[in-house]
Chain A
Amino acid sequence: MAKVVGDIAVNIERCKGCEVCVGVCPQQVIGMSVEVNGKGYHYAGPVNDKCTGCENCALVCPDGCITVYRMKVEVEQ
């Protein structure tokens, strides 16, 4: 059986910490960091491995700082 796994890469210095991506993620993957970036914003980032690469977060990110990767992996039953 094939399973889809994804990952997001956030451009930390471009993230303005608006948190719009957090609410649209169906898998609750995204959380805000405790640290701040160069401009003083708490930036977004993945907090678990449940990402399916659905692109929702990247579509709503106003600053376009999320890059999405997706691959299929074969899982043995």
Chain B
Amino acid sequence: MEKTINKEQIRKPENLVYRRTPLLVDVPLSYCPGCGHGTAHRMIMEVIEEMGIQQDTIGIAPVGCSVLAYDFLDIDMQQAAHGRAPALATAIKRLWPDKFVFTYQGDGDLAAIGTAETIHACNRGEHFTMIFVNNGIYGMTGGQMAPTTLPHMRSSTSPYGRDVEIMGFPLKMTELITHLPGTYYVTRQSVHTPANVRKTKKAIRKAFENQKLKKGISFVEIVSNCNSGWKMNAVQANKWMEENMFPFYPLGDLKVDGQIVEKK
């Protein structure tokens, strides 16, 4: 006969298997319900916790929804001007070569105003990590069209869908920098299912470990949702992302250990 186990017996410190990492400051995140930024933040801090490098990590906060990242991540943070996070990270990494430096940027920051900084930092082969959160829209300012907005995707500045004849084609930043000699590890992940979250954490871990080798940029793109900008709820947004974003932005490694991964 099965004994009934009450919740007090299970909820003991020795049975704890997962909790919010204490490296995230204990404040409510400012993101919309269901936004992938929160999960991305948590994965970065879990990697830093596992590696025990809290004292040796310097993060660069971007401009965008994650502009307040310095309030949430309990490490040394610096705020960059819009798009200039790779330039600031270059300076910090060159002054402190043994620190772990990462930038955390959205697509409006990294792929629009910061394109030049991104491409040149990748081409110079600086030794920091770039985390690129791509949701195909300018989330913070109200869902305007971004360089990464998909063709025919509606946004507040392309209400009839993105017409590629007038507005141009979406920019695949990750594919672009894969072919630059200064990048060492380039991958694209997402954070909407448990399996993808685990893969993302492994990718971020690898990206941070690569900084010890000093062989170039490690670039992790995280395809994320923007349910407020896409005008959906979180579950619909994740489904929409799987159906529409992933065919255009396929997940997986693009460059591992300096070698471009050939697609079959």
The chain A residues found within 8 Å of chain B, CB to CB, are: 5-7, 9, 11, 14, 16-20, 22-24, 41, 53, 55-56, 58-71, 73, 75-76
Q: From A11, A53, A62, A75, give the contact of B34 (CB < 8 A).
A: A62
Known: A59-B39, A62-B36. 10 other contacts (CB 8 A): A18-B227, A19-B233, A19-B234, A56-B194, A61-B39, A63-B29, A64-B21, A64-B38, A68-B18, A69-B10
B264 to chain A, nearest CB (A): 29
Contact B28 A41 (CB under 8 A): no
- B11-42 CB mask vs A (1 if < 8 Å, else 0) is 11001111111001000110111111111001
B197 within 8 Å of A (CB atoms): yes
Determine the chain B residues whose CB is within 8 A of the CB of A60 once the complex forms: 39, 191-194, 197
B7 within 8 Å of A (CB atoms): yes
Contact A62 B29 (CB under 8 A): yes
Determine the chain B residues whose CB is within 8 A of the CB of A76 once the complex forms: 1-2
Roughly how many angstroms separate A17 CA and B24 CA in the complex, as a whole number?
20
Closest residue to A75 on the B side, CB-wise? B2
B237 to chain A, nearest CB (A): 9
